[in-house]
Chains A and B, each alone.
Chain A
């Protein structure tokens, strides 16, 4: 960590206009500005409203199933031969990932704002499922934008969304993945701004989304902190989480940012390898730029055109990243690394075979990096990995990669 790092109070960011240092902000067409002001005003009002927070807490415990356990993976720790590995079990949440934490919150906000229609973008389909779930529960219409390439990769989640009553709107422009779904959702919002609430699924987009989604996800880190203190009376030595847009990672990291002794690792998707150009390692290999309403690191060519990304995991297949991560990278508070598809698949199998937990391919990236980190630490040190989602949705992908027809 850099010398001045200790003096930063991370809870004071972003500023009132959504800036994390030079990153973040609000870079959208004028047609969306008032909608963002309306959203920000509502959010600022309810984020400290006792009634709203009580309802949110009740939903999180009775509907989502929180708090999620912090599980000491003893067998895998022994096998790796180093630090003790703890898994924050977001995979056990209702709908199978951390995404529901955010959609429960945004759903309550949408209802209080009098909106009757929810729209969302999705990559792997986890945020789409979490959005469709909340829409069903609130009795709202729901349209989920999803790239046709992702629809092909995630047929199971597409069907789940349809069962939940959502319309899955295929997006056939650009690279036909998450970024294009986000473009299309923004176009919908601009057109239907009066009755529509746009649920962004990650800590990216224009202010207040990176802040709001962080606040809805930060309970991951707050719970982890309490659970760790209860379990061993200490803070973890290191945190590891996968980073696509970065919401599960920020959720775990944020409550620990002011604890300088806790090392923080965000793990990006190196795909076929960063040097092949077929990857989604935005922070490791990108440059600062502006996309989807915020200034952040991007994967783009020398003309500033956004390039296509690749990852075995649809949820990490995104050429941008949340602006807070961009800032944490630049000031050195967090380290960002990348693991390949093959490494992630090894992490997937290792955890499944050793602990009886099938992880999402996204989370498998964090597992793969932790497997490298653990042997470099002592056996009395502790690593917390955010197990952000369960792997049921990825069974077909893994089977196909191994030449197995299900």
Chain B
């Protein structure tokens, strides 16, 4: 069984929600990525999302755009990201890891070669922002064969029909984009998110994570009440940029940020909408 599915089952049994931090691979420096991932796990991360830097990150706000630029300036590439995943796996065989990025680096490597290399490195899921389900049939098949979960986005504007179609192709979890905008946008509306999650849940058994716009522990806790997973990215990446020259302090403070979210989420009572 894929590590992502197993992790969600364990969490459900324990009555907890998943906390999924995102960082961009190679930012602020390639040698800091694996230690940062470990620190995030220690601080309570259940699943890791590792961003593959791209020159034209169209769905990302300024914080992650700049992270991509910093990482690329230091020679980060899809191949090197996979090397970092391999390095992380040497000390952590349990925590699921999802690559999040854009399609072109995968196109250039070749979809089959990528699926094989990602499996070899120990990747559990792949979220390709600009690959909607309509164009994804071939990729999904290759990832499925490699035991890697293709993860798809849903949005406030996704129709019921699209939700159903997307849920059929997706594995692992669905990633609900909580607002109209790019990563790191203004605050989300918890009531609106809750209403949309209900519509999604009516059409799939897959766990649903929520991201884009979760900046602080109270929002993380509020989202944890209605979703299966909370994804947090830009807030962590901004902190990393701020403390890029002090790696020890950076790890400590980013871990503390995540830890505060973890505690806030765990104080939320037993989940109401668990499907199993």
Contact = CB atoms under 8 A, between A and B. Distances in A.
Interface of A: 17, 25-31, 33-35, 173-174, 179-180, 183, 186-187, 190-194, 287-293, 295, 298, 300, 302-307
Nearest to A19: B135
A194 to B, nearest CB: 8
Contact of B104 (A17, A34, A304): A304
Contacts of A192: 180
B107 A303 contact: no
Interface string B36-78: 0000000000000000001111110110010001001000011
B142 interface: no
Nearest to A36: B132
A287 B108 contact: yes
A298 B154 CA distance: 28
A29 B180 contact: no
Shortest beta-carbon contacts, A-B, top 3: A304-B108, A304-B105, A34-B157
B108 A300 contact: yes
* Most chain B C-beta atoms within 10 Å of own C-beta, residue among A33, A179, A193: A33
Contacts of A29: 58-59, 129-130, 132, 153, 155, 177
Which of the four size classes fits the interface of chain B? Answer: 35 or more
Contact of B182 (A33, A174, A190): A190
Contacts, number: 121
A35 B153 CA distance: 15
A30 to B, nearest CB: 4
A190 B155 CA distance: 11
Contact of B107 (A25, A190, A194, A289): A289
A19 to B, nearest CB: 9
Interface string B142-155: 00000000001111
Contacts of A307: 55
Contacts of A179: 56
A190 B159 contact: no
B61 A291 contact: no
Interface of B: 54-59, 61-62, 65, 69, 72, 77-79, 102-109, 129-132, 134-135, 152-155, 157-159, 162, 166, 177, 180-182, 185
Contacts of B56: 174, 179-180, 183, 291-292, 306
Contact of B135 (A26, A180, A191, A288): A26
A180 B68 CA distance: 14
A31 B155 contact: yes
Given A191-B182, A303-B105, A305-B72, A27 B135 contact: yes
20 contacts: A17-B134, A26-B132, A27-B130, A27-B135, A29-B59, A30-B158, A30-B162, A31-B180, A31-B181, A33-B155, A33-B157, A174-B55, A190-B180, A194-B180, A289-B104, A290-B103, A300-B108, A304-B54, A305-B77, A306-B55
Contact of B105 (A25, A193, A293, A305): A305
A364 B168 CA distance: 51
Contacts of A290: 102-104, 107, 130
Given A173-B65, A191-B181, A30 B106 contact: no
Nearest to B154: A30
* Most chain A C-beta atoms within 10 Å of own C-beta, residue among B55, B59, B132, B152: B55
A292 B59 CA distance: 11
A303 B61 contact: no
Nearest to A29: B59
B135 A30 contact: no
A121 to B, nearest CB: 12
Contact of B157 (A35, A288, A291, A298): A35
Nearest to B185: A191
B184 to A, nearest CB: 11
A141 B130 CA distance: 28
Contacts of A287: 108
A26 B59 contact: no
B107 A28 contact: no
A332 B134 CA distance: 28
B55 A33 contact: no
B157 to A, nearest CB: 4
